[in-house]
């Protein structure tokens, strides 16, 4: 080596080492891992899984950290003291990243302090739907292995404490046992969309139903309606299982699969979705994806998406199910993150169908009200009355029918505003129009209304004076209801 070159190299090495130190003399912290995004697959050849687990935290909800090994988790922003939420997407026909996933992650992190892990299995979910179904078992095993690493991380991070046991510990502290403080199975919440809901169910099955919660957002129907309990989502897969059904007549499953099953607007034909095939892709997917958008809205807004157990949607609309007493003892379930959906009874019943109505766009929530009309005298024919609630800029209508030889008809109306903001009610006696002569049919009766759930008669408000209705002639009455 030429004279002086060694000294110059040594000096340069020392300068670089000094620059790597902070002003305090400590070694500078390692740089933050790069963000990882979802993969894009070729829909003609995407059958291999190539699963990615992307961790998101509230400090940077737009940056996914790739976590595969236990060492990745230990060096990441994963917080063992928080709950963990896994998001599993469904079938991706074109092999692209789900368009809703970024908003879902951001909204979830704003709504709760948790570790959010998105499961990217775009490669295994694209191309042929049946191939994606075949990958469900493989993916479930991969997720189960990943969860076992989370449980293992809790053991490896020194999170132990000494808890004396009265029957075993003496004054010297000997014979005491160590209790583990790590990630527990009950802190895991899986949110699965479409096919991803059944993936979550299978993972829960592998963990013998001890995971904390599984939420299925319109669980897939094709290939699963007649599947065994081991192959699909069911109430035995977690301590609390819920499902939101929005497309039971096409892409979603039509049977209940959880402890609580929300059949939104009856479970099909969501308001605001196209009803004709010429709308193209939106016609195919709108109802199915409404469950995702409803859930995001529930996380974003305070207005409740509350539902009511009933034998059928028709019976619910007819006003037969108003108070959630059977089987939930008055605790009506709500879509969102509230514990057990707001149901406060143990043990939980299984496969309870609950119903609610929504509007056509976010925030989707409505206030359900019972409406009743009591005839002064019985009639020898059915009596149909259109009831319309009017508030500032908004109207909602429902038709109620009083059967022949009966005095009372009732129904449920959904309105975006609470009852105290409704200014008027419009009542219209509906009879077939007759071109050749004017129909002079008239009835007299009393109109009453109450917000759901109706747990007692104190909520019921009736118009004080009897209402006289002429055929096809609307009558307007003021509603004066105090806000709670």
Backbone angles phi, psi at 185, to 5 degrees: -60, -35
Q: Are 332 and 427 in contact (CB under 8 A)?
A: no
Q: Are 162 and 176 in contact (CB under 8 A)?
A: yes
Q: What is d(CA 94, CA 39) in angstroms, rounded to the nearest whole number?
A: 12
Residue 270 token pair:
């969501």
Q: What is the DSSP string of 290-308?
A: HHHHHHHHHHH-SS--B-E
Where do we find the tokens 């070729």?
42
Closest by Cα among 183, 255, 250 to 212: 183
* 411, burial (CB in 10 Å: exposed 0-12, middle 13-18, buried 19+): buried
Q: How many Cα atoms sit within 13 Å of 401 on the Cβ side?
A: 7
Report, as residue numbers or ranges, the catalytic residues.
194, 218, 288
Q: What is d(CA 462, CA 361) in angstroms, rounded to the nearest whole number?
A: 31
* 404, burial (CB in 10 Å: exposed 0-12, middle 13-18, buried 19+): exposed
Q: Are 114 and 108 in contact (CB under 8 A)?
A: yes
Q: What is d(CA 38, CA 35) in angstroms, rounded to the nearest whole number?
A: 10
Alpha helices in 310-410 (DSSP H): 313-317, 325-328
- Name every residue whose Cβ is closer than 8 Å to that of residue 450 and which is 6 or more positions away in sequence: 369, 370, 459, 460, 461
Backbone angles phi, psi at 283, to 5 degrees: -60, -40
* 122, burial (CB in 10 Å: exposed 0-12, middle 13-18, buried 19+): buried
Q: What is d(CA 309, CA 323) in angstroms, rounded to the nearest whole number?
A: 9
Q: Are 307 and 322 in contact (CB under 8 A)?
A: no
Q: Are 428 and 398 in contact (CB under 8 A)?
A: no
């Amino acid at each position: 080596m030429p004279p002086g070159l060694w000294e110059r190299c040594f000096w340069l090495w020392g300068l670089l080492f000094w620059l790597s130190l902070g002003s305090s003399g400590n070694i500078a912290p390692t740089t933050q891992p790069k963000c990882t995004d979802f993969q894009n697959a070729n829909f003609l050849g995407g059958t291999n899984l190539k699963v990615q687990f992307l961790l998101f935290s509230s400090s940077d909800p737009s940056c996914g950290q790739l976590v595969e090994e236990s060492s990745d988790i230990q060096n990441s922003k994963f917080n063992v003291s928080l709950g963990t939420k896994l998001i599993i997407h469904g079938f991706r026909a074109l092999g692209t990243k789900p368009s809703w996933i970024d908003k879902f992650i951001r909204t979830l992190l704003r709504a709760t302090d948790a570790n959010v892990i998105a499961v990217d299995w775009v490669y295994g979910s694209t191309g042929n739907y049946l191939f994606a179904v075949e990958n469900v078992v493989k993916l479930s095993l991969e997720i189960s292995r990943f969860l076992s690493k989370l449980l293992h991380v809790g053991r490896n991070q020194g999170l132990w404490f000494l808890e004396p046991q009265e029957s075993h510990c003496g004054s010297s502290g000997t014979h005491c046992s160590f209790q583990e403080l790590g990630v527990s199975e009950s802190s895991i919440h899986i949110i699965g969309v479409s096919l991803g809901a059944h993936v979550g169910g299978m993972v829960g099955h592998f963990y013998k139903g001890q995971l904390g919660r599984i939420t299925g957002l319109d669980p897939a129907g094709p290939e699963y309606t007649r599947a065994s309990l081991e192959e699909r989502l069911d109430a035995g897969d977690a301590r609390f299982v819920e499902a939101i059904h929005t497309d039971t007549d096409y892409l979603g499953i039509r049977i209940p699969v959880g402890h609580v099953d929300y059949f939104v607007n009856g479970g099909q034909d969501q308001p605001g979705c196209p009803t004709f095939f010429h709308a193209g892709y939106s016609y195919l997917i709108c109802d199915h994806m409404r469950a995702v958008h409803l859930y995001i809205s529930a996380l974003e807004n305070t207005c409740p998406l509350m539902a009511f157990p009933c034998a059928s949607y028709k019976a619910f609309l007819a006003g037969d199910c108003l108070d959630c007493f059977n089987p939930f003892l008055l605790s009506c379930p709500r879509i969102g993150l509230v514990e057990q959906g707001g149901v406060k009874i143990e043990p939980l019943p299984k496969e309870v169908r609950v119903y609610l109505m929504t509007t056509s766009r976010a925030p989707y929530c409505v206030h359900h009200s019972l409406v009743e009309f009591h005839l002064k005298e019985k009639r020898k024919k059915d009596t149909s009355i259109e009831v319309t609630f009017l508030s500032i800029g908004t109207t909602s209508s429902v038709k109620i029918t009083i059967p022949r030889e009966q005095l009372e008809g009732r129904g449920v109306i959904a309105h975006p505003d609470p009852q105290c903001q409704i200014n008027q009610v419009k009542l219209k006696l509906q009879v077939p129009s007759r071109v050749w002569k004017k129909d002079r049919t008239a009835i007299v009766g009393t109109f009453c209304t109450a917000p759901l759930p109706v747990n007692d008669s104190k909520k019921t408000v009736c118009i004080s004076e009897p209402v006289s209705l002429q055929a096809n002639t609307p009558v307007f009455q003021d509603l004066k209801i105090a806000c709670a």
